[in-house]
Structure formats: structure tokens, C-alpha cells
Structure 1
Amino acid sequence: MLQFGDEVTLYSLVFVLVLVGTRSPMWSTALTASLYLFLAMFRFPQVATSRAQKVLHPLVGKVSVVAHRGGGHDAPENTIAAIREVRIRGRPRHLGVCPTAGCCTHNMRLCGNCTNKNNHCKQPTDLLAPLWVFFLAIQAAAALKDVYKRYPVLYNSSIVCSFEPKVIYRMRQSDPEVLTALTHRPWSLSTLGDGTPRFSSMWKHHWMTMMDILLDWAHHHLLWKLCGVSAFLIQKNFVSQNYIQYWAQRGVEVVAWTINTKLEKEYFQEVLHINYITDSLVEDCEPHY
């Protein structure tokens, strides 16, 4: 993963790359200055650390274990039954959100189980907090903004996460007070989770590999700052002590996904001391990428 340091290094790198490409000091200076001004004008500040800690660590000093999709291995994913099962175990929940306004799950067939006749969530303060919302649609930003305004308790008990940076940016535009996180898996454009190439075409694979490098660089140096995220959800295979420290220096907390074996859970909880997402709270299950 591309981690080059802080802002001075970042802008120096951009200046050198543009200079090599254009051989023009004027263009290098102009483009580097434009990048600086863009971030200065359009970035969102991070939510206060004290409020982020309330969400990320409801139990002070303890690692939070988040049930992926409500604990999809232990109960039907993203259902009220799964939510209640997780609540019994006292764990935060991670849910999908579908484009339908007010819908609590990404599965359209389940919308009727968690919404009323006006398409609004039933008792979100009871069923959804603490909640990790995984955004699946930009259209949901306006609907979720309305939920936050009607149930202010969610500001201190929920976080919105997404693989799509534009979704997180749209959420911060809609309501800058909402806690957010970017989700990322390096090489996700060119390979599947198990490392298998997505494309049989060699040229397409190499092209998407280049896009992966660019996307990874952007996540670590531009997008987190632009969106003002408080946490960074990263696939477990790329987590290390140095990686955790890298983000800690930027006021961002690392959350690993998806941790599905007892040995892995012990390692992330007792050695790395970071929050993690799992498909099961009761037993080992198949890996999820």
C-alpha cells in the first residue's frame, strides 16, 4: 500500500511527477497549488475525537466487535432477527442500506419487516443503535440525513461506511456532523478477494492494476482528508502495527474486516487492539473478502 508520509511529501511527490511528465516548472507549480487549494476549500474537517470514540469504543478501553450485516452467519443477514440476536450479545451492528428512503436493509424483501407504512424505520433508536451503516447507494444520503435529524441519538451511536468515496463525501455534504469511514481493499479492481485476477484479458488486468495503485494512493493521501473520515475499514490481510500507527498519526482509527476465526479474533483484540468486523459472534466460519 502506498504510504509516503505527510503533506509536504505528498505535494513534493505530485510536483516531481508532474514535472517529469510535462517538463514544465510552471505547470508543476500550478497543478500542485491547485491540488492544495482544492483540498483546502472542499475538504470536510473530522468529527470531534471525543464523539468518534463514543461510537467506535462504546465500552471505554475495550475493542469493539462489529457483527457484519447483523452477523450473517448466525442469523439471516440484515434482518430484525439478526439485529436482536446481536443486541442480546451486546455488540454493535453493521447493516446495508438500500436506495429506498428509510429502508434499514439492503435486501428489498426485508424492507417491510423494519419500516412502517410511511417507509420510515421502526424505532431506530431501539433497533439500530449502536449502528455501523454500510452505504450501498448515494440516494440514501438524503434519507439517512432525515433519520439523523429526527433521532439525534444516532449522532453519538452510529457511523456511515462505504467503499465509494463519493458516497461518503455526499453524506458529509448532507450532514457534516455524521461520523463516517472509508472502506478499502487494495487490488480490489484487478483481483478478487482470494487473489484471482478479475479479467482474463492481460491488458485489461494490467490497466486495472494501475487503477488499483492510483486508488490506493488516493485513499491514503487524498480521500480520507477530503471526506474527513474518523475511521478506515481495511481488509484484514493488510493490517500491521505500522499501518495502524500510520492512521493513528492522522487521527483515524483502523477497523479490520472480516475476522472469522478464533485465532484471528484473539490476535486483533489482544495484540493489535483494534476494532474488527466479523460474520459470526459464536463460531468460526468461512473467510469473507
Structure 2
Amino acid sequence: MTRARTSTGAGALWGRTLLLGIILLWCLFPFFWLIMTSLKIGDRALNSPNLFQGPFGLQNYIAVFSQDFHLNLRNSFAVAGMTTILCVIVGSLAAYAIARLPLKRKLLWLSGVLAVSLFPPVALVPPLYEVWRTLGLLNTWEGLYIPYTSFTLPLTIFILTTFFAAIPRDLEEAAKMDGATPFQAFYKIIFPLAAPGVFAAAIIIFVSAWNEFLLASTFAPRNAEVAQTVPVAIAAFTGAVEFQRPIGTITAACVVVTIPMIIMALIFQRRIVSGLTAGAVKG
């Protein structure tokens, strides 16, 4: 009986390991294809289906940075960073108010907030463009992170409300008895306790702003020295050789763009996982 159970347990372990390996391979293969294609020289990147057929080189990466791609990276970091900071600050205060104030029909409020985030941005592009042109916000960082914040803030509020609502009110009452104001109780006690949720929301906001294309291609389509972001620059890439189809250059740029996201995920993976799972359990 013991041997049978041991064999069954070993078989289940091997089965789970095999399944996990298949899923991991399935998830990593697109990135492997991206790297191999970006290293192919000339027209091989598009014409050769064999990933291991060369010649290989770094010409595509050289072509990427010869087109001022470092300026596009700077713009994307600045816009995504400002969007994240604004959403975290405003979203935390709004979520805390919804979670703590004695509001009626809170579920209806949250549903309305979430419904705003589902509104298609393309419907607002023409009027926003006219307003931005009048205010001189075209081809500026402000012209990008203001609408990014507006579209991402509802989801931020929805996520953070769950975390603030799960924190016991007794902690705030104890802080008030010690002489803390409501705002001091918020940023000294409640906000640090909700850090996993805040961090998970910040990652979602940053990635969403980093990858946004529609508004960036409309409000800052050309000048990399001013505000053109990474997705718009990749869409406008040319090849390493004139009149060459730029698949190699595009994949090289995609690898460069993906690396910071991977590094960020590896560094903060514990906080991301704890934030997402805590929200699932507490909600």
C-alpha cells in the first residue's frame, strides 16, 4: 500500500512538472522568437522561418538606437512614471474615502467608477485633440499623462478600495486616540498597510501607460526629442537598410522595450504577487 501511494505521488509530481514545463515553454517561446528574429541580419528576419538560420548580428539593435530610440525610452518612462504617481496619489485618497466614509450605495459608486474605465478612448480623441491644440498641449508630456491618468484612475480606485476596506477601523481609532488627525492616520498607518495593493495597482498603471498607442500616436506622433513614446516610434521604424522591410528592427526595439518590464517584474515579483493575492483573499 505504501509503495502504491509513493508511486502515485511520484507520478502526480512528474505530471505536474511536465504540465508546468509545457506552460512555461508556451509562455516563453514568443519572447525567444522575438530575440532570435531581432538578431537576424538583412531580410532573413522575415523570409526565413527557421529561427536558427543566420546570419546573426547586432545590426538591428544598432539601427534602433541610431534613430534616437533612447529619447523615446526617456519619454515613455517620464509619461508612465507621472501617470503612475498621479494615479496612486489621487486614487488612494479617493479609494480611502469610498472605503471609510458612510456613503450610501457604495457598490453603485464603485460600479459607476469601473464603468468609466470601460469607455472607449477613441470616442474622445477628436474633441480632446481640439482642446489640446487650443491649450498648446500637443507634443508635450502633459498632453499624454493627463488623459492617461483620467482613463486609468477609475481602475486604480476600484482596486485600492478593496484593500482599504479590508483594513480594520480599530487601527484608525487607536491613532486618533493618540492624537493623530484623520490624514495622519491615513498616510502613517493605513497607506503603509495597503502597500501591497498600492504596488500591484502601480505596476498595472505603469504597464498600461507604457504600452498605450492610440493617444500617443494622436497627441505626440513625430518629435522624439519632445514627447514621442516607444509604441509610436516602433510603428514608424525603418529598416537597417533603406527600403528593407523593418521586421528585424521592430523586433529588436521590442526586445529593448520588454527588458525593463522583465527586470521590474523580477525585482518586485513578491510584492506584485502578495498584492494581487491579498486583494483576492480580502475582497
Flag whether TM exceeds 0.5 (same fold): no
The structure with the greater share of residues assigned to strand is: 1
Larger radius of gyration: 2
